[in-house]
Amino acid sequence: MNRIQKCFEKTRAAGRPAFIAYLTMGYPNLAASEEAADTLLANGADILELGVPFSDPVADGAVIRTAAYAALEQGVTLADILALAGRLRAKHPDAPLVVFSYYNVIYSYGLEKFAADAEAAGVDAVLSVDLPLEERDELLEVLRPHGLTFVPLIAPTTSIERTIEAAKGLEDSFLYVITVKGITGARAELPPELKERLATIRAAVNMPIAAGFGISTKEQVKVIGEVADGFIVGSALVKMLAKDGKIHPEELSF
């Protein structure tokens, strides 16, 4: 069993959804990201997504875009982020670490070198927002020999047949179910049909499912927790960092 599987086994046994935290690495700077990640993992976050900044973040809302541009201003690279992952791994031996990136940054790094370096850093999985089912094999072929898995994204437009297809062969990972048609960023209200959609997806696949995009409140998490194995919070955390560069655990209400 890999760290992701063990993690969901643990949260399921505890009867709660896994809290998956997303941070744009290098925002407001690399040291602050490392401290924020550390704080989150020590204060209730079960899985960490290490967001890799990209110059053209087409799937992101204003909060994460602003953070990505600020990180790039400082010259943060994927190599820096893998090194940071390695340091987090040393301190948090059991926490699943997911590299969350647009594909070009990984492709440019060199696929084989990326897989080898990610493995050495103790990364567990990769998520690429622009690598759908049709294109992902190229990356999967290099990740697998290095013991890494891949997190598939499921959108509100994805049919259940396609969802099953996307889950195939990745049962050692989790499904990232996008809650809304749209880009990342907190929303006051999630779609009313979300709960039923999550329940349908969960019944159709043989792996944990986690809901992401737009989630920031305790109420939202409560609803999602009834029908999903995990929830992802990103923009709300990045917004917290925008204030004073720190994560304040007492302000996390999930």
Partner 1 sequence: MKKGHYGQYGGQYIAETLMTPLRELEAAYNEAKADPAFQAEFQEILRDYVGRESPLTYARRLSEHLGGARIVLKREDLNHTGAHKVNNTIGQALLARRMGKKRLIAETGAGMHGVATATVAALFGMPCEVYMGATDVARQAPNVARMQMLGATVHPIEEGSATLKDAMNEAIRDWITNCDDTFYVIGTVAGPHPYPTMVRDFQSVIGVEARRQMLEKYGKLPDQAIACVGGGSNAMGLFAGFIDDPGVKLVGVEAGGKGIATGEHAASICGGRVGVLHGSKTYLLQTDSGQILDTYSVSAGLDYPGVGPEHAYLADTGRAEYVPINDDEAIAAFDALCRFEGIIPALESSHALAEAIKRAPTLPKEAILLVNLSGRGDKDMDNVMEWKKRRI
Interface residues with partner 1 (CB under 8 A)? 54-59, 65, 69, 72, 77-79, 102-109, 129-135, 153-159, 162, 178, 181-183
* Shortest Å distance, C-beta 42 to partner 1: 30
* Shortest Å distance, C-beta 238 to partner 1: 16
For partner 1, the closer CB: 11 or 101: 101
For partner 1, the closer CB: 95 or 153: 153
Buried b / exposed e along 35-50 (16+ C-beta atoms within 10 A): ebbbbbbeeebbbbbb
For residues 16 and 234, give the distance between their C-alpha atoms in angstroms, rounded to a whole number.
Answer: 19
Q: In sequence order, what E strands does 13-86 have?
A: 18-24, 47-51
For partner 1, the closer CB: 14 or 58: 58
Give the torsion sign (CA, 32, 35, 153, 221): negative
Q: Which helix (H) or strand (E) holds 210?
A: strand 209-212
* Shortest Å distance, C-beta 185 to partner 1: 11
Residue owning tokens 């190229």:
138
Alpha carbon distances (Å) from 8 to 51, 172, 174, 215, 240: 21, 10, 9, 19, 26
| 244 has catalytic annotation | no
* Shortest Å distance, C-beta 59 to partner 1: 5
Q: In sequence order, what E strands does 68-207 have?
A: 97-101, 125-128, 149-150, 153-154, 175-178
User: Tokens in use for 108?
Assistant: 């440019």
For partner 1, the closer CB: 15 or 75: 75
| 94 has catalytic annotation | no
For partner 1, the closer CB: 184 or 216: 184
Let me know how long the chain is.
254
* Shortest Å distance, C-beta 53 to partner 1: 8
Among residues 34, 46, 49, 124, the one annotated as catalytic is 49
Among residues 9, 34, 56, 60, the one annotated as catalytic is 60
Active site residues: 49, 60
